[in-house]
Structure 1
Amino acid sequence: MPGVHRLVIVGGGVAGLDLASHIARGRATRSRYAVTLVDREPAHVWKPMLHTIAAGTADAALQQTPYIVQARQAGFQFEPGAATAIDRAARTLRIAAVTINNEPVLPEREIGYDTLVLACGSRANDFGTPGVAEHCATIDSRGEAIAFNDRLRAELMRAAGGADHLSVGIVGGGATGVELAAELIRIADIADHYGASGLRHRLRVTLIEAGPRILAPFPPRISTATQATLEGLGVTVKTSAQVKRVDATGFELADGSRVDAGIRVWAAGVRAPHLLDSLTGLDKSKTGQLVVGPDLVAPGDRHILALGDCAAPKLPGRDTPVPTTAQAAYQQAVYLCEHLPAIIDGARVPDFRYHDFGSLVSLGGYDAYGTLGRVGLLQGGFIEGRVAQLGHALLYRRHQSRLYGLWRGSLLWLADSLGSRVKPEARLGS
């Protein structure tokens, strides 16, 4: 369409799908922009929920948002496939071929852009540790979480049938590793409830953290309480334990000891996705994230912006990096929903400001802990139990309301609440 600005957004996560939906259906913006969203997955899942899908305590089919459906309802174009390279000079984005069951569906192709927004998330950082790529699973995407759950269910069935113990080793004591460990115990408890007697006692979960405590970004009080809860559930927590290498049967630690594990998960560190390796001539952080200014625009190329985990914003008066969390990605998406049209027009806009509203960690329904932010009346208070669990749930419901609107988001919450009363608590079958 002549005169329509081609806005291409790479990544349909918390930030990317929110931005695409709001720009495409906004009254003042929908006629000005041809919005295209690119993602390798067919559907969106809220990233803080991936560990529940991996463990099987949530079903991806019930929690996902198909991109093609959201595109139809919001008014943007969905382009399936993994973005593999960016040509800044030609302003084109290369997208990999799409196959289903090894059958070609779409060929490799290029699309042009006038403005490119990178919201392509992050991947786990193996820090060069030998054997991680060959022997560890990651759960950085919907597809990886589903694949992990498929393997986990098979191994749980073997253990329930009287086979040897099932051992799971998780490297990384951040929120993902901690919450996954709790969800694994929960799936074993649920399976016991449905007749797999003794499975809980056959499951051995070990959480390995290189630092002196788990949940390092949280206050020590939460780290201590969380570790006590995990250990009370039967999880072995190893801190100050650096993994030296990984093999087909477990982890070798720097002190010479081993942690044997039939299933090995790497949930440590954050690194930018491979797409940013193709982006030359622009500043990047040590972990490959694109350095952007306080308007989230890349210095040196006004046609490229980045937000979420793949971005490293340089903000006035802030010496520490913006955390790679769903909270930060959400705030950046809200900021661009308001200011992106002015940024594209070359107008001056207010700087993005990150506000820490606190952090929450949910332990599979057994408990939850969190801190309140230091914003306004919130002064870093400590919350736990049902209050923290409710806070964790409300974050997800807020995300749904942003995507679907308050009315549809509320209906989804009601449907999920009713469904939880009549459906099994977990994905136990195929």
Structure 2
Amino acid sequence: MTIDTSSRPKSKQQVAKSKKTQIVVVGGGAGGLELVRKLGAHFGRKNHDIILIDRNHTHIWKPLLHEVAAGSLDANLDEVGYRGHCHRWGYRFYYGTLETINRTKRQVIIAPVHDEDGSEIVGRHAIRYDYLVLAIGSVSNDFGTPGVRENCIFLDERAQADRFRSKLLDHCLRVSRRMSADCTVNEYVRVVIIGGGATGVELSAELYNAASALRLYGLEVFDESRLKVTLVEAGPRILPALPERLAKAAQAELEALGVRVLTGVPVTSAEKHAIITKEGERIEADLMVWAAGVKGHALLSHLDGLEVNRASQLLVRPTLQTTEDERIFALGDCCSCLLPGTERPIPPRAQAAHQMASMVYRNLLRITAGKPLLDFVYRDHGSLVSLSRFSTVGSLMGNLIGGRLAVEGRLARFVYTSLYRMHVLAVHGWLRGLALMAVGKVNQVIRPRLKLH
């Protein structure tokens, strides 16, 4: 393996940079992006070099991907460009994919970057670190189910959401054209979603919201009645993170929209246009989405001896340092953090990534000040699930009050919307964040309801 370690004579500027404390953050998701903003704003560029590495050029909040997939959200309006963001907040951005790390030399190894024709743009190279933070998120867990990787679409990143939206619009157009040509034809767009967690439930509802608007944009004979969505959950009920009463309310709302909800139905395989259940039922579909679980990226199991669990998540101490290396932190979905006195690791949620980013930030400041590190304390603020414009259900406060406060309707919708606003403020700061919220309100009025390209 050839690695460019910049062994050529260094300029005065490069020598000055090498003397700085270098903090490298891999992953520009909700937690990683918030962390580099805080570090850049606090340290500046004088004595510290804050670096963000990501394999994408822009960031989109992952809980919004189901809206991107349905076309209800134009990601071009909500995405954050890393290069512009880093200029504003005092960190540096490197476009690339983490390949491995060298803990002895304190280096992250970045894979070669190629253009769309396969030509190499940047060769494999190493970036040194004094402290490293891994925040690369998670990927869908197919549990080794045959045919899923080949035939189902995942919603782990924007490119996958864009691919689903493109295919969905193609199928809607096909149905509309056939019915326009022959009014006796009875056609449908069939979508099967495997996984009754928040992503699967929210996508099911959002599809009906999008379908109801398509007739306003050239598909005159297409509406939500032309959509057949089947939501398949292996567990006894959907939304296991919510109280049973709210889960039943959400299921009733989905079924009122027209969603066929199947619970206690494991999927054993996937074919090109169908899934097969454990009972042998064949459910045919034009589009199949797998949203049945998450795990860490496979590369995490090969990071120079760092300890992982069965789901390829990095094991961390209560300080969020990895168990094998105190100079390496991990946060968000890519890590497994079992706090003292608890029976289960912290769940992979956006609120956990946000809280972990704040704790890693505080601990990095304490390291530079020579102070002892703090243990992470997770505060469960509850769970909320949006059924698009139709309803919102959830529970607030979680273990803060020793139980759950069930909420529905307008209050739940307000809190759900507030979560995204908090993310915007964490990433952009108060002044720019409030301005972006105002622009978002204007766009709701002047922009089309759906993204159709």
TM-score normalised according to structure 2 size? 0.91
Q: CA separation in 2, counterparts of 1:378 and 1:278?
A: 40
Structure 1 residue 23 displacement after superposition: 0.2
Aligned to 1:207: 231
Structure 1 residue 375 displacement after superposition: 5.4
Aligned to 1:170: 193
Indicate which of 355, 359, 371 corresponds to 2:383.
Answer: 359
- 1:167 counterpart SS class: strand
Q: CA separation in 1, counterparts of 2:197 and 2:410?
A: 21
Map Cα deviations across residues 263-303 of structure 1 (whole Å, 9 max, x no partner).
Answer: 11111111101230222423212211001001100122112
In structure 2, the CA distance between the partners of 1:47 and 1:129, relative to structure 1 (3 Å rule), is: same
Q: CA separation in 2, counterparts of 1:178 and 1:217?
A: 12
Asked if 1:70 is matched to 2:70, the reply is no
Aligned to 2:170: 154
Q: CA separation in 2, counterparts of 1:324 and 1:346?
A: 31
Aligned to 1:189: 212
Q: CA separation in 1, counterparts of 2:450 and 2:325?
A: 47
Aligned length: 428
Q: CA separation in 1, counterparts of 2:134 and 2:355?
A: 15
Contact 1:362/1:368, CA 8 A, preserved across alignment: yes
Within 5 A, what are the aligned runs for 1:405-420? 405-420=429-444
Aligned to 2:202: 179
Structure 1 residue 256 displacement after superposition: 0.8
Q: CA separation in 2, counterparts of 1:219 and 1:86?
A: 42
Aligned to 1:133: 149
Map Cα deviations across residues 135-175 of structure 1 (whole Å, 9 max, x no partner).
Answer: 11101012221222222222222122226421111111110
Structure 1 residue 30 displacement after superposition: 4.8
Contact 1:272/1:287, CA 8 A, preserved across alignment: yes
Indicate which of 332, 337, 341 corresponds to 1:313.
Answer: 337
Contact 2:381/2:400, CA 8 A, preserved across alignment: no
Q: CA separation in 1, counterparts of 2:190 and 2:126?
A: 44
Within 5 A, what are the aligned runs for 1:10-25? 10-25=26-41
In structure 2, the CA distance between the partners of 1:427 and 1:346, relative to structure 1 (3 Å rule), is: same
In structure 2, the CA distance between the partners of 1:346 and 1:238, relative to structure 1 (3 Å rule), is: farther
CA RMSD of aligned residues (A): 1.7
Unaligned 5+ segments in structure 1 are none
Structure 1 residue 195 displacement after superposition: 4.7
Structure 1 residue 221 displacement after superposition: 1.1
Q: CA separation in 2, counterparts of 1:30 and 1:334?
A: 20
Aligned to 1:8: 24
Structure 1 residue 72 displacement after superposition: 0.9
> Which is further off, 345-354 or 291-300?
345-354
Q: Identity over aligned residues, as a percent?
A: 39
Structure 1 residue 313 displacement after superposition: 1.2
Within 5 A, what are the aligned runs for 1:24-423? 24-26=40-42, 28=43, 30-104=45-119, 105-162=121-178, 164-196=187-219, 197-343=221-367, 347-374=371-398, 379-423=403-447
> Which is further off, 193-202 or 207-216?
193-202
Contact 1:208/1:241, CA 8 A, preserved across alignment: yes
The one-letter code sitting in structure 2 at the alignment partner of 1:45 is: I
Structure 1 residue 379 displacement after superposition: 4.9
Q: CA separation in 2, counterparts of 1:345 and 1:293?
A: 21
In structure 2, the CA distance between the partners of 1:348 and 1:276, relative to structure 1 (3 Å rule), is: same
Structure 1 residue 314 displacement after superposition: 2.5
Structure 1 residue 415 displacement after superposition: 0.8
Q: CA separation in 2, counterparts of 1:98 and 1:189?
A: 42
Structure 1 residue 123 displacement after superposition: 0.4
Q: CA separation in 2, counterparts of 1:32 and 1:316?
A: 36
Structure 1 residue 350 displacement after superposition: 2.1
Contact 1:60/1:146, CA 8 A, preserved across alignment: no
Structure 1 residue 41 displacement after superposition: 1.0
Structure 1 residue 185 displacement after superposition: 1.1
Structure 1 residue 96 displacement after superposition: 2.4
TM-score normalised according to structure 1 size? 0.95
Unaligned 5+ segments in structure 2 are 1-16, 180-186
- 2:295 counterpart SS class: coil
